[in-house]
Amino acid sequence: MYSLELTKPDGRRLILYSREAINPDIVAPSPFTEPLNAYPHLRWHPLRGEWVTYAAYRQGRTFLPPPEYNPLGITTDPSHPTEVPAGNWDVAVFDNRFPSLGPIGDPPSLIVPSAPAVGHCEVVVFTKDAKASLGALSLAHIELLMEVWAERTAVMARREDIAYVLPFENRGAEVGVTLHHPHGQIYAYPLVPPVPSRMQQEAQHYYEARGSGVLQDFIIAEREAGVRMLYEGEHAVAFVPVCARYPYEVWLAPTEPVESFVHLTPDQRLDLARALKTVLLKYDGLWQRPFPYLMAWYQAPVDGKAHPEAHLHAEFYPPYRTRERLKYLAGTEIAAGFFAMDALPEEKARELQQVEVTVE
Amino acid sequence: MYSLELTKPDGRRLILYSREAINPDIVAPSPFTEPLNAYPHLRWHPLRGEWVTYAAYRQGRTFLPPPEYNPLGITTDPSHPTEVPAGNWDVAVFDNRFPSLGPIGDPPSLIVPSAPAVGHCEVVVFTKDAKASLGALSLAHIELLMEVWAERTAVMARREDIAYVLPFENRGAEVGVTLHHPHGQIYAYPLVPPVPSRMQQEAQHYYEARGSGVLQDFIIAEREAGVRMLYEGEHAVAFVPVCARYPYEVWLAPTEPVESFVHLTPDQRLDLARALKTVLLKYDGLWQRPFPYLMAWYQAPVDGKAHPEAHLHAEFYPPYRTRERLKYLAGTEIAAGFFAMDALPEEKARELQQVEVTVE
């Protein structure tokens, strides 16, 4: 993998990735000229025992964009610069202009503990092709993206002040995404956030009690049961979990425990890319239209310790419960954290199993 | 408070409440004739260490309702029965026809632990007036509703198999509510669900360390700071918390720690009703239109033990971040449980403070 690291006019970083050497004359554009001028801060939530981050940015655009302006598309008109340049790159990563975590300033003094919102927020442009989607990319391109996720994780892991790295994608207007150019984000947190922290704790207890991984054993059981599988390769699997909390929830993982993208072997990565493409094509094939979802990749905390209990995997949370109806998170889910499902995972798995796809 | 307990033709319970004696000749209607025929079950989620409930009901309506049919309005045409009868009642409670917890059957045998979904789900009709809203009801009516919440909590608390009672209201199409007749729900859980469990744990630690309640001290600090208050009465307060996770989040509580609705004194209840009505009128006044929200009432677990650390309070989570824009929970909130806010609680509090309302 080749990469080229550049600095935008407003001081943010842009890194281009490709399988071939990237033209070193490429210049990084930015829709913004002023440096970032706001500093997010954390406030302690004493009832829940967790931190919340606050970032109040003003838009600060220096021009009114034309209607078809796509900030994630390559810059074609220098008077309307976008976030990425033309050139021979395949995946681009740049610092988020409106980071929830990152630039460090003095936090306000409040009735609860406050702190600078240490961390880092990046945008990952999956491809130059604004009309593509993650699932439409070639296996080789998806593998490259996984290497980029690995590199970004490794870079963040070297920082003393980062504890957890979460690559994710929000896709579709139904989940609030207004930019349809294929892209995701990476959040690097100064702490292990509540959900991964809880999962880490459960995995740790399980590992100590049994000497094996909770997801590792779960995958073995899902394969034996057989009824909810969507992909079974030599090194990776995808399935609707027996305990799905969203109707079309899917999990995707290497069959063996791997701590993070950094630790994947090339064979594992290729099969994981195949599993990912299979799921995405099934999703889009189900109703013959782009299928919205949140895709999150859980990795081990980056605390320098070994994490034999951790197991890299993706969880997909799609917002639909049927072709026409959204699943709204309501009282019991949001207020109690207790999920109620009116569809059985076995039925939803069958719907996705019946979507035939060709991955090559 | 007077009440009348009835049985619907399909076997479900209906309880009517009023300040005056209720006509004993009232008969309970039901849109359904067949008894409930599905049994929700729980599945263990080994990665998160929590239970998920599954309930797959078929609609089972025995007639096609006319277009203006309102199942929560009083029955006017006996050939199209609704859930509640005409009569001199003010608040009605009935068993949910599609409960996520309740009717007990044999759970399926699965690759994870499963169990019958013990518990109880009730619908609370706030008023006979389909055009009203919770905030539009008189203080006396809201007080009655709080007594109903207390009674339902007390009834559930007597059951050995119930551990937690959560009254809540989802309001507005934006949070997925299609029935606009003013109503809420009560979930009675067989366990303390993840969010109240976490809050309970934090409150317990705080109480053990300091000998006072975490919310009690928080309220004192919010009152001293003063900038985020929406209502300050002798016995109750409402404010945008300094650590709000939603732009228009509001908390509402008695100033002194009270374990649950059951433990409120009449003075506390009246002032809490006043605080609630104030917040609801401010919400609806903000943009001169019905303001959607999730309102959840947190109480102490009903395990028969004393809970000096617990403090009854409501949390409102409205889905809007500005008049035109929704806050979507995305990657960091849903996948990491780490909330990112682009508005400061102080600014949102100011907006709500400026809405003048008259409560009498």
pLDDT tens digit sequence for A140-188:
999 999 999 999 999 999 999 999 999 999 999 988 888 999 999 999 9
Given the residues A141, A181, A183, A307, the one annotated as active site: A183
Q: Are residues A205 and A190 in the same domain?
A: no
Q: Are residues B186 and B203 in the same domain?
A: no
Q: How far is the C-alpha of B49 from the C-alpha of B47, rounded, in Å?
A: 6
Q: How far is the C-alpha of B120 from the C-alpha of B101, rounded, in Å?
A: 5
In a domain, A359, yes or no: no
pLDDT attached to residue A201: 97
Q: Are residues A159 and A214 in the same domain?
A: no
Give the H/E segment covering residue B117. Answer: none
Q: Are residues A217 and A250 in the same domain?
A: yes
Candidate from B185, B243, B339 with C-beta closest to A112: B243
Stretch A194-217: mean pLDDT? 97
Whether A102 and A121 have beta carbons less than 8 Å apart is answered as: yes
In a domain, A360, yes or no: no
In a domain, B358, yes or no: no
The minimum CA-CA distance between B26 and chain A, rounded to whole Å, is: 31
Dihedral sign from CA coordinates of A147, A152, A154, A157: negative
B170-200 b/e with 16+ CB inside 10 Å = b?
bbbebbbbeeebbbbbbbbbbbbbbbbbbbb
Structure tokens, A148 = 């980029």
Structure tokens, B275 = 């605080």
Give the H/E segment covering residue B43. Answer: strand B41-45
Tell which of B194, B229, B249 closes a domain: B194
Whether B169 and B184 have beta carbons less than 8 Å apart is answered as: yes
pLDDT attached to residue A66: 77
Number of structural domains (chain A) is: 2
The minimum CA-CA distance between A331 and chain B, rounded to whole Å, is: 6
Is the pLDDT assigned to residue A32 strictly greater than 80? Answer: yes
Stretch A212-240: mean pLDDT? 98
pLDDT attached to residue B345: 97
Q: Are residues B80 and B176 in the same domain?
A: yes
Tell which of B136, B166, B194 closes a domain: B194
Candidate from A331, A339, A341 with C-beta closest to B294: A331
Tell which of B136, B161, B194 closes a domain: B194
Whether A134 and A169 have beta carbons less than 8 Å apart is answered as: yes
Structure tokens, A33 = 């000229």
Is A338 in contact with B194 (Cβ distance < 8 A)? yes
Q: Are residues A187 and A222 in the same domain?
A: no
Q: How far is the C-alpha of A14 from the C-alpha of A10, rounded, in Å?
A: 11
In a domain, B323, yes or no: yes
Q: Are residues B184 and B291 in the same domain?
A: no
pLDDT attached to residue A61: 47
Is the pLDDT assigned to residue A265 strictly greater than 90? Answer: yes
Computed over every residue of chain A, the mean pLDDT equals 95
Distances B213 to A64, A113, A156, B31, B201 between C-alpha atoms, Å: 52, 17, 39, 46, 12
Beta partners for residue B96, in sequence order: none
Q: Are residues B174 and B302 in the same domain?
A: no
Which amino acid would we find at residue A69? Y
pLDDT attached to residue B56: 82
Is B44 in contact with A243 (Cβ distance < 8 A)? yes
Structure tokens, A335 = 């207020």
Q: Are residues B54 and B157 in the same domain?
A: yes
pLDDT tens digit sequence for A321-359:
999 998 888 899 999 999 999 899 999 999 999 999 999
Render each residue's pLDDT in chain B as its tens digit; 360 residues.
999 999 999 999 999 999 999 999 999 999 998 888 889 999 999 999 999 999 987 554 445 677 789 999 999 999 999 999 999 999 999 999 999 999 888 999 999 999 999 999 999 999 999 999 999 999 999 999 999 999 999 999 999 999 999 999 999 998 888 899 999 999 999 999 999 999 999 999 999 999 999 999 999 999 999 999 999 999 999 999 999 999 999 999 999 999 999 999 999 999 999 999 999 999 999 999 999 999 999 999 999 999 999 999 999 999 999 999 988 888 999 999 999 998 999 999 999 999 999 998
Print the domain residue range for B208: 195-353
Is B342 in contact with A43 (Cβ distance < 8 A)? no
Distances A115 to A37, A38, A54, B40 between C-alpha atoms, Å: 17, 14, 11, 44
Report how far Cα A220 is from the mean position of its chain's Cα atoms.
25
Q: Are residues A172 and A309 in the same domain?
A: no
pLDDT tens digit sequence for A49-106:
999 999 987 554 445 677 789 999 999 999 999 999 999 999 999 999 999 999 888 9
Q: Which candidate, B282, B203, B270, B202, places its Cα nearest to that of B236?
A: B270
In a domain, B57, yes or no: yes
B205 is catalytic: no
- Establish how many alpha carbons lie within 13 A of residue B137's alpha carbon, considering only the half-sphere containing its beta carbon: 24
Stronger pLDDT, B77 or A112, i.e. the higher one: A112
Q: What percent of chain A has pLDDT over 70?
A: 98
Q: Which candidate, B100, B89, B104, places its Cα nearest to that of B14?
A: B89
Q: Name the 3-class secondary structure at A214.
A: helix
Dihedral sign from CA coordinates of B259, B265, B266, B269: negative
Which amino acid would we find at residue B259? E
Provide DSSP, A48-85: TTEEEEE-------SS---TT--TTSBP-STTS--SB-
Q: Are residues B176 and B207 in the same domain?
A: no
Provide DSSP, B188-247: EESS--HHHHHHHHHHHHHHHHHSS-HHHHHHHHHHHH-TTEEEE-SSEEEE--TT-SST
User: Residue A82 sits in a domain of what CATH number?
Assistant: 3.30.428.10
In a domain, A292, yes or no: yes
In a domain, A31, yes or no: yes
The minimum CA-CA distance between B81 and chain A, rounded to whole Å, is: 25
Q: Are residues B224 and B336 in the same domain?
A: yes
**What is the predicted ipTM?**
0.96
In a domain, A207, yes or no: yes
